């Protein structure tokens, strides 16, 4: 069984993940005109919290969130994963459920956008409880808004 640990995300984690990021997520960032490392570092710099997820010590995912209003009731959630996630799909899903709990303990409503062609991610997000919205153009691609609420 794989050991999964959450640790505060660092630049070193971002560099490791950027070097082994899933192709679909590299493509998603490219549609927004962002390079993987730049996207990770900018997201981490703007985040109120960010964590690296280590799979047997290897960086597999980095996620975080930014509270967008003074009332603390809406936030921008983000996450980017590496190829290691594909090697441990069941463990990755279990981690994802825990991450959602962390987000919803902090803020009752989170959103972001997902590449409209990234069916695997949209299905995963739907299974985690996200509502999948309509399609809209952002930069060079079509994206779908994703929202999750504390019920």
pLDDT recorded at residue 137: 97
Structural contact between residues 107 and 89, judged by C-beta atoms closer than 8 angstroms: no
Structural contact between residues 122 and 114, judged by C-beta atoms closer than 8 angstroms: yes
pLDDT recorded at residue 151: 82
Kindly list the domain boundaries of the chain, sorted by start residue. 4-107
Q: Which CATH class is domain 4-107?
A: alpha beta
As a whole number, the mean pLDDT across the chain is: 95
Write the pLDDT tens digit of every residue in 100-121: 998 999 999 999 999 999 999 9
Q: Pairing between strand 49-55 and 4-8?
A: antiparallel
- How far is 133 from 72, CA to CA, in rounded Å? 22
CA–chain centroid gap for 134, Å, is 19
């Amino acid at each position: 069984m794989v050991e999964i640990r959450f640790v505060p995300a660092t630049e070193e984690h971002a560099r490791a993940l950027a070097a082994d990021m899933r192709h679909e997520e590299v493509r998603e960032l490219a549609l927004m005109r962002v390079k993987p490392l730049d996207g990770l570092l900018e997201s981490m710099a703007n985040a109120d919290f960010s964590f690296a997820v280590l799979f047997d010590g290897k960086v597999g995912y980095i996620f975080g969130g930014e509270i967008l209003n003074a009332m603390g009731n809406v936030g921008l959630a983000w996450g980017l994963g590496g190829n290691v996630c594909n090697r441990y799909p069941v463990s990755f899903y279990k981690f994802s459920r825990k991450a959602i709990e962390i987000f919803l303990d902090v803020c009752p409503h989170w959103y972001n956008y997902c590449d409209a062609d990234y069916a695997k991610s949209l299905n995963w997000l739907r299974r985690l409880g996200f509502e999948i919205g309509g399609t809209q153009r952002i930069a060079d691609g079509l994206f779908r808004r994703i929202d999750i609420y504390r019920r």
